[in-house]
Amino acid sequence: MPATLTARKPHQIAVVDNDLCDECGLCMPLCPPEAIHMTRKGLLVDKEACTGCVKCIAPCPVGALAMVDG
């Protein structure tokens, strides 16, 4: 019997708009895999570590985080 191919949903990852980000850090402790880090250039989301859980999105007071297909 041939293997059945199933359509996989694209993995969603968080991205940050550093022009909007006020570096409040509210998102960082909410990230289970600790994929969000503060750098000298602003907030950075580690695309390899992000699981797409979306826990960081709602608490952002300025809407700087969004989910995109990774």
Q: What predicted TM-score, i.e. pTM, was given to this entire model?
A: 0.79
> How confident is the chain (70 residues) per 10-residue block, as mean pLDDT?
58 95 95 95 95 96 95
Q: What is the pLDDT of residue 12?
A: 94
- Give CA–CA dist 58/48, Å, rounded: 21
Q: Residue 70 has what pLDDT? A: 82
Q: What does the alpha-carbon distance between residue 54 and residue 13 come to, in Å, rounded to a whole number?
A: 8
Query: Please, what's the b/e burial string for 24-43 (b: 16 or more CB within 10 A of its CB; e: otherwise)?
Result: eeebeeebeeebbeeeeeeb
Q: Which of 62, 24, 55 is nearest to 14 (CA)?
A: 55
Domain architecture of the chain: domains with CATH: 18-69 (3.30.70.20)
